[in-house]
Chains A and B, each alone.
Chain A
Amino acid sequence: MRELTYIAAGREGLAEEMARDATIFVVGEGIGVRGGNFNTTQGLYELYGPLRLRDTPIVERGFVGMCCGAAMTGTRPIVDFMFVDFILDSIGEIFNQIAKIQYMSSGRLKMPIVLRGAIGIGGSAATHHSGSYFPMFVNIPGLRVVVPSNPYDVKGLLKTAIRSDDPVLFLEHKNLYNNKGQIPDEEYLIPFGAAAIAREGTQASVVAVGSMVRKTLEAADALAKQGISIEVIDPRTLAPLDIGTISESVHKTGRLLIVDETFAPCGIGAEIAAQVMVAGFDDLDAPIMRLNGLHTPTPYSPALEAAIVPTTQSITDAIQALLAE
Chain B
Amino acid sequence: MATEIVMPRLGWTMETGSIAEWLKKDGDSVKQGDIIFTVESDKAVNEIESFESGILRILPNSPAIGESVPIGTPLAYLVQPGEPAPFETGVPASATAAELVQLRPASTAIHANGHTIKSERVDQLHPTISPRARRIAGELGVDWQNVAGTGRTGRIVERDIRAAAEQIAVTTGSLRVSPVARRMAEDLKVDLGSLAAALPGQRIEKAHVEQAAAQVDSRRGVSAETRAPLSTIRRVIATRMAASLHTAAPVTLTTEVDATELVALRKQLKKDAAAIGLSVPSYNDLLAKLVAEMLIALPALNARLDGEEIVQSAAVNIGIAVNAERGLFVPVIRDVQTKSLRQIARESEVLIERARAGLLTTAEMSGGTFSISNLGMYAIDAFTPIINLPECAILGVGRIVPKQVVIDAEAEIVAIRQMLFLSLTFDHRVIDGAPAAQALQRLKQLVEHPLVGLL
Question: Are B131 and A283 interface neighbours, CB within 8 A?
Answer: yes
A40 vs chain B, min Cβ distance (A) = 45
Question: Are B157 and A285 interface neighbours, CB within 8 A?
Answer: yes
Q: Report if A281 contacts B (CB, 8 A).
A: yes
Q: Report if B32 contacts A (CB, 8 A).
A: no
Residue of B nearest to A325 (CB): B152
Q: Report if B240 contacts A (CB, 8 A).
A: no
Residues of A within 8 A of B158 (CB): 254, 285
Complex CA distance for A285 and B136, rounded to whole angstroms: 10
Given A284-B130, A286-B130, A286-B151, are A325 and B157 neighbors across the interface (CB < 8 Å)?
yes
Interface string of A270-291 (1 = CB under 8 A from B): 0000000000011111100000
Residues of B within 8 A of A286 (CB): 130, 151, 157
B132 vs chain A, min Cβ distance (A) = 4
Complex CA distance for A324 and B157, rounded to whole angstroms: 10
Question: A300-325: which residues lie under 8 A (CB-CB) from chain B?
Answer: 324-325
Question: Are B155 and A325 interface neighbours, CB within 8 A?
Answer: yes
A257 vs chain B, min Cβ distance (A) = 15
Given A324-B152, A325-B151, A325-B152, are A282 and B157 neighbors across the interface (CB < 8 Å)?
no
Given A254-B158, A325-B157, are A284 and B132 neighbors across the interface (CB < 8 Å)?
yes
17 A–B contacts, CB within 8 A, in A order: A254-B130, A254-B157, A254-B158, A281-B131, A282-B131, A282-B132, A283-B131, A283-B132, A283-B135, A284-B131, A284-B132, A285-B130, A285-B133, A285-B157, A286-B130, A324-B152, A325-B157
Question: Are B132 and A285 interface neighbours, CB within 8 A?
Answer: yes
Interface string of A247-262 (1 = CB under 8 A from B): 0000000100000000
Residues of A within 8 A of B151 (CB): 286, 325
Residues of B within 8 A of A284 (CB): 130-132
Residue of B nearest to A286 (CB): B130
Question: B135-186: which residues lie under 8 A (CB-CB) from chain A?
Answer: 135, 151-152, 155, 157-158
Complex CA distance for A116 and B455, rounded to whole angstroms: 96
How many residues belonging to A are interface residues under a CB distance threshold of 8 Å? 9
Question: Are B134 and A282 interface neighbours, CB within 8 A?
Answer: yes
A125 vs chain B, min Cβ distance (A) = 38
Residues of A within 8 A of B134 (CB): 282
B104 vs chain A, min Cβ distance (A) = 23
Given A285-B157, A285-B158, A286-B157, are A254 and B132 neighbors across the interface (CB < 8 Å)?
yes
Complex CA distance for A285 and B149, rounded to whole angstroms: 12
B128 vs chain A, min Cβ distance (A) = 11
Residues of B within 8 A of A283 (CB): 131-132, 135
Complex CA distance for A254 and B157, rounded to whole angstroms: 10
A317 vs chain B, min Cβ distance (A) = 14
Complex CA distance for A281 and B151, rounded to whole angstroms: 17
Residues of A within 8 A of B132 (CB): 254, 282-285
B421 vs chain A, min Cβ distance (A) = 64
A87 vs chain B, min Cβ distance (A) = 32
6 closest A-B pairs (Cβ-Cβ)? A282-B135, A285-B132, A285-B130, A285-B158, A254-B132, A282-B131
Question: B111-133: which residues lie under 8 A (CB-CB) from chain A?
Answer: 130-133
Complex CA distance for A285 and B135, rounded to whole angstroms: 10
Residue of A nearest to B133 (CB): A285
Residues of B within 8 A of A254 (CB): 130, 132, 157-158
Interface string of A117-156 (1 = CB under 8 A from B): 0000000000000000000000000000000000000000
Residue of B nearest to A250 (CB): B132
B115 vs chain A, min Cβ distance (A) = 12
Residues of A within 8 A of B135 (CB): 282-283
A85 vs chain B, min Cβ distance (A) = 35
Complex CA distance for A285 and B134, rounded to whole angstroms: 9
Complex CA distance for A321 and B100, rounded to whole angstroms: 61
Residues of B within 8 A of A282 (CB): 131-132, 134-135
